[in-house]
Structure 1
Amino acid sequence: MDIDVKNLHPLEVKLLRHVGMGEDITVDRLVSELGYLTGQCNQAFSWLSAKGFLAETSRTARTLYEITEQGQEQRLHGTPAHRIFTFLQEKGSATLPALADSLGLEKSDVGSAFGMLSKNKAARMNESNEAELVTDAQLPDELAVTASLLERASTTGILEETTLTPAEKNAMVKIAKKRGAAQSPFRIVEREDVVYRLTAEGEKAKHALEEAHITGEELGNLTPAMLSSGSWKTGTFRPYSLNAPVARLIPGRSNPYSAYLRWVKDKLSSLGFEEFDGSLVENEFWNGDALFMPQFHSARDIHDVYYIKDPSHAREIEQPWLENVARVHENGGNTGSRGWGYTFDHEFTRRQVMRSQGTVLSARQLPHAKVPGKYFGIVRCFRYDQVDATHGADFYQTEGIVLGKDVNLRTLLGILKMFAEEIAGAEEVKYVPGYFPFTEPSIEVHIKHPVLGWFELGGSGIFRPEVTRSLGIDVPVLAWGLGIDRMALMHLGLNDLRELFTPDIESVRTRRGN
């Protein structure tokens, strides 16, 4: 078979001329010997493999742990838990807010760190609601292992999973993240070492390049600088193929996912729901405090947020809702609850974040809602999360509330059934108990995907009085926050949530929406 080598890319040409039969070809080798970038190596491998000139001989998965800026800082000053342990050794006791102020830590970090010390039976809360060390408490082994890992990684910047002991692996699971690793000591990096070798066809192509005197240094463009210097006269240009196919003409069309979102909005509006919307940037008050999520409780860990750097805090929070919510957190206010029993932090509540859940808009709607009333929103949210077939770091929820004297759990189940069957198109649905700080009872709805199996569609429940009464509502309020991205998987016949946001324009051209 004749091999046309004139149209090979310079990256392919240089690689073929550089290697020989039986030699291992890797990214590290090309970077070292040809000065390629990693991306250029992968391009060349992809093109040559598609042409049959290279064949993969082995593939080895590796997990690495890269120390972050947060990790370097903790190496120098200690992890939050280690610093709290040392502080309590010296001072005896302190409230959690006082620990945060004294050590310059985020209050959420103090809560998580104290929880770890308490779990290891090294610290406890005393009768004065202050943190203190348990008698004869020793620094937990986990903290010593973490400090050792940080020290080892400070020189190389990265640790191989295969070099870790079982104890180090257990510690690393708690301090390393793949997504949102800026607030973690280590970032998880997954790599694959792939080895290629020349095929018989690749060897023929190599000889054809040598016979044609093609080196990969041929010029691809004529530039003004070449014309000015006259260097084009001595250069060799790559040939142009007059037989290359022309670009096809493709008419414009709607993005299938955008069309699906419009269809959902139209359907809910036709059922009498009013649409609400709001800013992507929120404050901790509406994102969590107004929803009766305690400011320093581990319940907030399920909503890891992106913090806004500038401005970091809102100027003010609307009254009387701020004072109402503060009283509910401290002592239950007029709700019949005992609240959470801590001093509400008015500075923390103004901190600005990217909204982590659509329920923030339901909370904002309550002071202005009509009774009876039905509201919904298509809400973009942001959380640290590991991206996979059913998770994203930013995603859409369909969020809503129904208010009225006569609404109840049966009403909510009917709404969930409509979303699961009519909007998502699921044939198998189940409802399971859940937990959310702001609803009681709480229900999760799960649907069965033909390929991915069962997964959670979202959460729902009836707002607690601590939420509704502090915002001026004294009737039952049904609430739900469902992953509309996941509904689209079922509705559009997809198997991976990332396909909704793929940069592959061809998928938009060929997939049909509503």
Structure 2
Amino acid sequence: MIALFENDRKILLALEKFGGKQSVKGIVSSTGLDIAAVTRSSLLLSERGLVEVKEVKRSIARLTSEGESYVQNGLPERRLLGDLIRAGGRVRAIDVPSITSIQASMVPIALGWLRKKNWVRVRKEGSDSILEVEQLQPAEGPDEELIRLLGKEGSVYVEELGTLANFLDVLTKRNLAVVEEETERHLILTDLGRRALSSGIVSEEGISSLTHDLLATGSWRKAKLRRYDIQASVAPTWPGKKQPYLRFLDDLKQRLIGLGFKEMRGPLVELAFYNCDALYMPQDHPAREIHDVYYVKEPAIGEIELPDILDRVRRTHENGWRTGSRGWRYSYSLSEAKRLLLRSHATAVSARMLLSKDLEIPGKYYSVARCFRPDVLDRTHLTEFNQVEGIILGEGLGLQDLLGVLATFAVEIAGATKLRFVPDYFPFTEPSIELNAYKEGYGWVEFGGSGIFRPELTKPLGIDVPVLAWGLGADRLYMMKAKIDDIRTLFTQDLDYLRREELI
């Protein structure tokens, strides 16, 4: 005969009913006890050798809300292919949004996957990009089959997917599916536990909490108190805290301010003049095409209120003006300069700062700016992202000063252990440097570009001193610091992840 507390007795009897083995969830369902009570009792029973606790980890795949929306409607590239076929199979890229039923924000993504799957090809005809359908009825791909299966089953253990498990990575990178680790705890009756059940179990009296009546009457002195196990698992408590990535950005700003930088700001909807022209980017540059910039549909143009500056920039583009350059040798278009777009890089903020009446020389300025580009969504790219932009201007500045600033960012902000400076090209800097950084256990990452602003940029804006400039991916800085391999995690609404993410 063995004496057990009531909850312990219930669990042993439930295990006997299930043949000696059952999950914690199954015990909770069978006994009506809450999971915390079952967890505490299982630890006590384990200590007495009556049960064995085993943990089993399994990977479960399920669709995200976006993935679920494609179960019935199909992937956006499949739907866009149908729209292209109905439009004759040959469509200008600029006309695609007007002939398709999918959301405008999904068009660049769908186009990217159409090309990747070789369902269409892109031809250049003059200044136009032409899409031509290559496959009229492509067979269902493994990614589509997997979406259909997960949509039907709700969630599936990865080991049960067979060869389709190889294509889970494609769906997770597109944020159409997630794979989660599930830890199941199973309770198993030991031989000692079976003998205890055979010999009989009696309930042991005892209390686990002090009530008002016990304290008021003093009867707690005679009551038998249940042993308190400080190592027993309890329900986690999650204190409130700032979103991890926002906390990193705030810390980044404070560090820059501590280094003597002042903040500069600019609008999200920008004129092509500041985003491109003032940076000495020619108006026929590939980075200004619809595949690389979000142009505003309505209103399509804005006004440039600096006629003298506009004239200098125009003349610099056409013939070099007084910069010592020959310029780009084309006829500058005022209507192109007035086009409105979503800021595609933070250097547009620097252009505005160099024209500001508040500019100080010498001076140091920074901006943490939201930027937008129509990229294909994957683990390293989003259609909107943060850049940390900085400029330092003053007499006597050179490349060595720039490399020192970049090293500070990579080592002190991202925790990099190795650096690599790679020659690069940008229309607005010379020399141009790309910063690559390495961290043990994470690998090499390209952070962004930098350089010294060219005279063709600074002189038309009225600046006659060297200007060091850099634009680094703030998202990637944090990813390296936190050892995150999927950029979408930075903006996740997964409460479980947000609660468990450590303060760094």
Q: What TM-score range do you get, normalising by the shorter chain? A: 0.5 to 0.7
Contact 1:75–1:150 under 8 Å retained in 2: yes
Q: Give the equivalent residue in structure 1 for 2:262.
A: 274
Partner of 1:152: 149
8 Å CA contact retained: 1:55, 1:197:
yes
> Deviation per CA, 1:110-147, whole angstroms, max 9, x where unpaired?
2332233334163323526253325x634444x54444
Q: Deviations over 1:239-283 (max 9, x none)?
A: 8889999xxxxxxxxx998997687346412xxx3234689xx45
Match of 2:291 among 288, 294, 297: 297
Q: d(CA) in 2 for partners of 1:63 and 1:173?
A: 13
Give the partner amino acid of 1:133: E
- C-alpha contact (below 8 Å) 2:262/2:366 kept by paired residues: yes
Q: Tell me, in whole angstroms, the C-alpha distance in 2 between the residues paired with 1:406 and 1:200.
A: 79
Matched residue pairs, number?
Answer: 427
| Post-superposition CA distance 1:365-410 (Å, at most 9, x none) | 45424455321356799998879xxx99x99975422245865543
Pair 96,362 (structure 1): closer, same or farther in 2 beyond 3 Å? same
* Partner amino acid, structure 1, of 2:76: P
Unaligned ranges ≥5, structure 2 = 214-222, 231-243, 282-286, 320-326, 490-496
Give the 3 Å change call, closer, same or farther, for CA 474–210 of structure 1 in structure 2: farther
Q: CA shift at 1:472, angstroms?
A: 4.8
Per-residue CA deviation, residues 153-188 of structure 1 (Å, 9 max, x unaligned), is 33323354445464x45654333348xx3xxxx221
Separation of aligned partners in 1, 2:434 and 2:124: 35
1:198 and 1:79, CA in 2 relative to 1: closer, same or farther beyond 3 A?
Answer: closer
| AA partner of residue 74 (structure 2) | G
2:56 to 40, 56, 59: 59
If the length of structure 2 is used for normalisation, what is the TM-score?
0.58
Matched, 1:122 2:120: yes
State the alpha-carbon separation in 2 of the partners of residues 171 and 3 from structure 1: 54
User: CA offset at residue 413 of structure 1?
Assistant: 1.0
Task: Give yes or no for contact 2:265–2:349 (8 Å, CA) kept in 1.
Answer: yes
Which SS does the other structure have where 1:211 is aligned? strand
Q: Does 1:336 align with 2:336?
A: no
SS at match of 2:179: strand
**Structure 1 residues 296, 496: closer, same or farther in 2, change over 3 A?**
closer
Distance, in Å, in 2 between the alignment partners of 1:488 and 1:115 is: 24
Is 2:467 the counterpart of 1:461? no
Contact 1:52 1:202 in 2 (8 A): no
Change in 2 beyond 3 A, CA 1:317/1:138: closer
SS of the aligned residue for 2:30 comes to helix
- 1:411–1:439 Cα change, 3 Å: same
The alpha carbon displacement at 1:361 in A equals 5.4
Distance 2:473 2:454 in 1: 22
Q: Distance in 2 between matches of 1:422 and 1:71?
A: 38
Match of 2:304 in 1: 320
Rate the CA distance shift 1:430–1:146 in 2: closer, same or farther, 3 A: closer
Cα deviation digits, residues 315-372 of structure 1 (max 9, x gap) = 99974299999xx9xxx89973989x9x98999836xxxx998767556645424455
Contact in 2 for aligned 1:67/1:157 (Cα 8 Å): no
SS in 2 for 1:401: strand
Structure 2 distance, partners of 1:194, 1:58, is 6
Residue 62 of structure 1 aligns to a residue in which SS? Answer: strand
Instruction: Kindly indicate whether the alpha-carbon contact (under 8 Å) linking 1:111 and 1:298 is maintained by their aligned counterparts in 2.
Output: no
Q: What percent identity do the matched residue pairs reach?
A: 21
Partners of 1:381 and 1:395 within 8 A in 2: yes
Shift in CA distance, 356/101, structure 1 to aligned 2, threshold 3 Å: same
Shift in CA distance, 82/241, structure 1 to aligned 2, threshold 3 Å? same
Using the size of structure 1 for normalisation, the TM-score is 0.57
Alignment-derived partner of residue 412 in structure 1: 402
1: CA distance between counterparts of 2:123 and 2:392? 40
- Residue 365 of structure 2 is aligned with which of 366, 370, 375? 375
| Aligned residues of 1:112 and 1:298 also touching (Cα < 8 A) | no
The 3 A distance-change label for structure 1 pair 242 and 67 is closer
Question: Partner amino acid for 1:85?
Answer: L
**Aligned partner letter, 2:92:** T
User: Does 2:75 match 1:79?
Assistant: yes
